[in-house]
Amino acid sequence: MGRLRIALAVFAVVGIFQTILLFLNLNKKVPHSSPEEKPKKVHLLILSTWRAGSSLVGQFFSQHPDVFFLKEPTWHVWKSLPYNNANALHMAVRDLIRSVFRCDMSVFDAYIETRSHISNVFHWGSSRALCSPPSCSAFSRKSIISNIDCEKHCRESPFSKVEESCHTYSHVVLQDVRILDLKVLHSLLKDSRLNLKILHIVRDPRAVGKSRDKIQYDLMRDNAIVLGSNDTKLIDKDFKVLEKICQSQVDIFKNSYFNPPPFLKDRYLLIRYEDVVRETLKTVKEMYDFAGLELTQELISWVQDMTHGPKQQKLHPFVVSSRDALSVSQAWRSELPYNKVKLLQKICRDAVDAFRYQNIGSEDELKDLTLETVLPMRKEDFKWED
């Protein structure tokens, strides 16, 4: 009996000691960065939608020697969970973006079954960083590298090189088309471990509609997720997906540009694709300044070549190549019938107004190329309807 009392007493003392330790640990101040002490690495999210020109903008950043770039890494989330809707997947998308920004590529374990080579990452060939040291020795770190050359020489690099490479760059830039609500990003913008900026790329909805129409079968899975369909494949015959996307882009703009939350101040920049192709160097410099990057002479020459290429050529819809970008941006005026233009203007009415595009009122106006359809962006011109 005496032994039992002693054992109980010892157990009680140990329990009290553990409770005290737990209390001390819970109240121990954990060191963290203050809001003023942002990490040195810059994190830039190119936020856009399908067929809006973000692939070209992404390449402007990918080819910079200070940038680690990945194109649409959240594709892996949507591919792995195709029966969900976009809202249900937002948290998984956000968490993957957070991890990649922090160069923690273990997040892909949940989405990529085989992780043996860098080529297991979606659109890996779009990343110059994955095709130069330390990821791949085939090219110099400062080389401008095409998708074709990258995929030809660097496919067998180990998957571990993705994370290793990411840690060696001052800027991590991700391009994404799967965020339809800015609030999803609020926790990332408030995360003291990130130095996050949002570059929002928009495009004339009529041009987006024309481009989507040409590759509708490639977008079926994404369409189904956007609309929350029970199917995994959906053709957007009535532009219902585009209607929802247009509204999401307007809402993101509204919540970022007018009365933004304090943590978003000076961390959001809206760029129209039409301004990229009309005033290319000026707009690229504006984007680089926003991200804290220098525009080198080599990059100036490459940017000019990519946007001032030949007019007549067969273009691959998912590959960025040298082209007459201005001509491509206006192709909807010659390729879309007026009834479809009228429909697109109706379903994306708020986007046309918000991003300062001129409505087309007749067949004659559609064919009259002297009629300007891209108006100057001025904050005071934008008014929200009650």
Spatial neighbors of 252 by CB under 8 A, at least 6 apart, are: 47, 181, 182, 200
Residue 361 lies in a domain: yes
Distances (CA, A) of 217 to 185, 224, 335, 383: 30, 12, 19, 37
Residue 1 lies in a domain: no
pTM of the model: 0.85
- The pLDDT tens digits for 108-147 are 999 999 999 999 999 999 999 999 999 999 999 999 999 9
> Percent of the chain, pLDDT > 90?
74
Spatial neighbors of 221 by CB under 8 A, at least 6 apart, are: 78, 79, 82, 232, 233
Number of Cβ within 10 Å of residue 163's Cβ equals: 15
Residue 32 lies in a domain: no
- The pLDDT tens digits for 226-244 are 999 878 889 998 899 999 9
From CA 47, how far away is CA 368, in angstroms rounded?
33
Spatial neighbors of 352 by CB under 8 A, at least 6 apart, are: 204, 205, 345, 359
76-79: long-range pairs with CB below 8 Å, 24+? 76/108, 76/111, 76/112, 76/122, 77/111, 77/178, 78/178, 78/221, 78/222, 78/225, 79/111, 79/221
Residue 336 lies in a domain: yes
Q: What's the CATH code of the domain at 294?
A: 3.40.50.300
- The pLDDT tens digits for 235-274 are 998 899 999 999 999 999 999 988 889 999 899 999 999 9
3-class SS string, 277-295: HHCHHHHHHHHHHHHCCCC
State the total domains in the chain. 1
Residue 325 lies in a domain: yes
Residue 20 lies in a domain: no
Stretches where the chain sits below pLDDT 70 are: 1-39, 310-325, 378-386
Strand 42-47 vs strand 196-202: parallel, antiparallel, or unpaired? Answer: parallel
C-alpha torsion angle, residues 44, 50, 52, 58 (rounded to 10): 30
Spatial neighbors of 50 by CB under 8 A, at least 6 apart, are: 177, 208, 212, 219, 222, 245
From CA 280, how far away is CA 284, in angstroms rounded?
6
- The alpha-helical segments, DSSP class H, found in 43-181 are 54-62, 75-80, 86-101, 147-153, 160-166
Task: Write out the residue range of the structural domain in which residue 209 sits.
Answer: 42-377
pLDDT value, residue 259: 80
Residue 13 lies in a domain: no
Residue 219 lies in a domain: yes
185 and 55 Cβ atoms separated by less than 8 Å: no
